[in-house]
Every structure is written in C-alpha cells, then in structure tokens.
A and B are shown apart, each in its own frame.
Chain A
C-alpha cells in the first residue's frame, strides 16, 4: 500500500528555506496535541452543549462547533492521539515485521527467497479496502480493526525494500571480505547489513506515517474505523458530511489538519533521505 520505488539518491533534492522548519513546527504541535491535549484544548471534546450547535469560527471556538455544540478545535486536538497514534502504530508494526521478513528473504537461498517474495507480491494486488471491510465485519468496527487490516497491507512494502537493500549490501566488497574471513551470516547481518538497512527504513517510516494517517482516516470516513464519540479525524469528516452546506468549518478544519500532518511527515522524510544521500 505504500510507495516502494526509491529514486536514485543523488537526484533527491533537499527541501529548502522555511519548509523544513515549518514541517518540524507542525511536528512539535502534533506532539503537544498528543501528549497534553488537556492543556491545549479549550473545551471538553465529548460533552454536548446544544446551545452552541453548529456555530461558525469565533474567538471562543476558533474552528467553530459541531452538531452537538462541541468545539471542533478541541476535538481535533484530542483526536490527534487516535488518528496519528494508530498511523504510527501501523507503520512501526509493519516496519518491524517487514524488516525481519525482508532480511530473512534477502539472506536466504534463492528458492526460498523467490517464494517469500511471491507471497509479498500477493499483497500488492489485494485491495486494502476489501480486507478492511472483512476485518471490520469479523472483529467489529474500531480503530483496532483498522490498525490490523492496514498493517497486513503495509508490511510487504518494507519486506521488499529491506530485501533489496540486503541483496545490494551483500555484494559489497567489505561484506564479501568478512564472509571470506569466515564471519557467520548472523554476524554479517547484524554488523554490516542491519545498521544500513535501518537508516533506509527510517526514511521510509517517516514518509509512511503521513500516508498511513490518510489511510486510517479514509477507513473511518467509510464507517469502518473509530466509533462515535471518539474525535478521530476521519470520523469528524464523516460526521460533518450532512452539514457541509451549512457548516463548512466542520469539514474544512479536520481535512486541513490531515493534509498538514501528512505533508509535514513527507517533508521530513525527504530531508532525511537527502541527508542520507549527501
């Protein structure tokens, strides 16, 4: 489900000027939202306040209010830990599994390697949404089923990336030399391959968090993810749909938040990649 083909390194341009600091600022804000929502959010994200129903942005409610009179900004703040938290969990779980799988495949004999990669291929053609539908239906709708189905779809990207890197590094002269000296395959893997692969994977993880966030919110939007009244961002957009004509703010702010977050992670991923290339 993620983008797997890496361009040649030297062609990666480094984000310039204010973009990177801005992206980092977004990251800091998100961290604050996740860790200290109570300090930042001016209102209760769950309690109904019908007198304030669907009020446009103002000084008291900077992002306006929703159909229950709840402050949209406060809901977004509290929602960060759900949306972003699940996205991060998905990416880390996939990376962990994918790295192990990819490393094993890369180090294995050709026959086993081939088989393992064919299994990976299977996942690339499988529509994520169909899997999510089935998982949601069988274990119930919720963020846990979203995390599970997206992780199932996500890890093959890492497996493929890592296997490619392992194959590349294995041919390196110093690795060949180590092998000739009788160093065990495990040690080679640990000392000469894993550290390099991890750097590569770090870049990928950073970019992927943004994509995973978009995917999580998409599933929530379709009604497969978080349940009311969890202020998950995708669910906010789903809930806002019937009120779009009368309350634009309710749709616009959560969407913008997702966009900003995903872009910030992409920018930082790019910066990491160009530093690796440099």
Chain B
C-alpha cells in the first residue's frame, strides 16, 4: 500500500516537472517582449531595456529556465507581469473562486445526471429515456460560450431573475474572507441572505458547465442502474423488505458512482478548459479568467502556473480516487493487493 502510494507520488511529481518544462519552453517561443508590455506604451527603448534587465528577461533561456525551476522547487511560481505580484499570491486569491464553481458544478452534475438516469432507467427504451438522451446530447453539442451568452440573455436581460456575472451583488459588501468560498464565508458571517445571493450568482455559470457534461454522467449512471437493477443482491434486498429508495441509494448509487467518477476524472482537463470559457463569459474572478487575461498581454507565469496547478489537481484527484475506490465500490478490493 505504502509502496503503491510512493510510486504514485513519484510519478505525479515527474508529470508535474514534465508539464512545467513543456509549458515553460512553449511560452518562451512567443515573439513578443513582455518587457515592452511592462514598460508601457510610450516608454523609451532605454526604459524597456532597464526593465528587461530588472526582470532577468535579458538572460539566456537556459539560465531563465534554471531560475524558474529552482523557484518552482521552493513553491515560487514566478511573478505576474500584469498584476505585478507573485503568481502564488494571485493564485491564493483566485483559486477559491474557481474551486467553489467547480465543486458546486460537480455536485450539481452528479445530482442532475443521477436523477435523470433514474428517470431514464425506469423504462429503458421508453419515451422518457429517449427524450433524456436527446436533451443531454444536445447539451453536449452546445458550445459552452454560446450557451453562457444565451443563458445570460434570458435569465438576466429578459427575465431579470439572475445576475449577469461576478460572484456577489455588485453594490453589496461581500462577507469577510475566511475560506475564500463565498458560500462558506456567508454562513460563517451568519448571513443567510448573503448565502442566497452567492448561490444566485453561482447558478448560471454552474448550469453552463453542467449542461455540457450531462450526457456522459447520465449515460453512465443509466447504464450502471440498469445493470445493477438486474443484479441478484437488489432482488435479495427487496426480498428483505428494504424500501425502494434505500435500495436505490445504498446499493445502486454506490455502484454507479465509480464509473461516473472515473469518467469525470478523465474529463478533468476538458472541464478546466470549459471553466476558463465560463469564467470569461461570466466575469468570474477565478484562475481561468486570471490566466486568460494574463495570456492576452504575454504574461507567461500565470499561464504556466495554470497548467501546473491543473495537472497537480489531476494527479491528486487520481490518487484520491485510487484510494477511494474500495470505499465507494465494494466490489473493488484494496489497491495494494
């Protein structure tokens, strides 16, 4: 077990280093000069040169790379030219917003896809099943940016039900930052109205992400449900007089969960890309918007940082999943064996 964990960790580390190396060199092939951006328009050539030296941009690429990797080993992700702060400081600020959106979306995704699957699995091949399949399929075919804009148009512009973007009502004071998760911070500040407001702001961005993923989740849960329904132990459970709901949740959900989780892990890179788009459309101040804006002015470090953070997230999730499988799915035995 420990050997397995160790192997996994070493591999994860290697992956991270590989990603850091690749993104570093990819980002430096860019023809533009970040010093020119930093110096600003109208700055003289001398000023640009001075800034180039100050930021070590005049040094040869291998040296810049060495400096970067040494910094990375110490947890230093470099400095953002656009925000003029260290990327780690920026990430600390922007990461909770993204995580909150991702977590809420994921929970919503599981809930909705599982409910749809339950409906669909009642009569496989029936009209409801077909309709759900078609709807989720269309959901996946809608470009996420287009969906976001359309939802904004109806729910903000036409109906005035939901806000246009951002995390909290503009004119109001957000709760004091403790965890960075507005839902949690609202509760910690004891304000249910702030909690509701944050939830309202989460609705459209989360819905946009969920609609796009739904087809996979529903399909997998439905398949698992149908398979599990026919299994012996369900019949046994029924025989023991357990209520249908208990059967559904205790047994079937548990068994359906693991393929869904596996599929979602595989979709992680995909989801991160979608999150960038959603953050751009909804002005969601998370790492996606941060990296996107930085990219637009050739600020490399945040973009590399996003790649590293997202890969790290992927590695960690995989690790956790490996450890969790025996817990979630009783059929899988401990990973060590």
Contact = CB atoms under 8 A, between A and B. Distances in A.
The answer to whether A and B belong to the same complex is yes
Interface of A: 1-5, 7-8, 11-17, 19, 118, 121-131, 133-135, 137-138, 153, 210-211, 214, 217-218, 221-222, 234, 237, 241, 244, 251, 255, 258-263, 266-267, 270
Candidate in B141, B142, B277 with the most chain A CB atoms within 10 angstroms: B141
A123 B224 CA distance: 27
5 contacts: A137-B27, A138-B29, A221-B143, A251-B146, A258-B143
A134 B28 CA distance: 9
B51 to A, nearest CB: 21
Interface in B239-268: 259, 262-263, 265-268
Interface pairs A-B: 4 shortest CB-CB: A125-B314, A262-B141, A7-B223, A134-B26
A255 B146 CA distance: 6
A7 B137 contact: no
A267 B137 contact: yes
Contacts of B292: 222
A144 to B, nearest CB: 16
A13 B124 contact: yes
B142 A255 contact: yes
Interface in B133-183: 133-134, 137-138, 140-146, 149-150, 153
Q: Interface residues of A: mostly helix, strand, loop or mixed?
A: helix
Q: Interface residues of B: mostly helix, strand, loop or mixed?
A: helix
A270 B26 CA distance: 38
Nearest to B146: A255
Interface string B216-232: 10011011101100000
B202 interface: no
Candidate in B23, B222, B270, B280 with the most chain A CB atoms within 10 angstroms: B270
A266 B219 CA distance: 13
Contacts of B227: 8, 11
A88 B101 CA distance: 32
A188 to B, nearest CB: 29
Nearest to A132: B273
B263 A4 contact: yes
A131 B269 CA distance: 11
Contacts of B263: 3-5
A244 B149 contact: yes
A211 B23 CA distance: 25
A35 B27 CA distance: 38
A266 B19 contact: no
A11 B227 CA distance: 8
A230 B315 CA distance: 39
Contacts of A222: 277, 280, 292
A182 B76 CA distance: 58
Interface stretch (B67-75, B77-85, B184-192, B303-311): B303-311
A234 B146 CA distance: 9
Given A133-B295, A266-B137, A124 B307 contact: no
Nearest to A260: B141
Contacts of A17: 130
B194 interface: no
A122 B141 contact: no
A204 to B, nearest CB: 13
Candidate in B125, B144, B219 with the most chain A CB atoms within 10 angstroms: B219
B272 interface: yes
A10 to B, nearest CB: 8
Contacts of A214: 140-144
Interface string B117-135: 0000000110001100110
B291 interface: yes
B12 to A, nearest CB: 10
A125 B313 contact: yes
Contact of B141 (A19, A258, A270): A258
A235 to B, nearest CB: 12
A7 B153 contact: no
A11 B298 CA distance: 49
Given A8-B223, A126-B269, A218 B143 contact: yes
A5 B261 CA distance: 10
Contacts of A258: 141-143, 146
B112 interface: no
B19 A122 contact: yes
A135 B146 contact: no
A103 B29 CA distance: 34
Contacts of A130: 23, 291, 303, 306-307, 310
Contacts of B314: 124-126
A266 B140 contact: yes
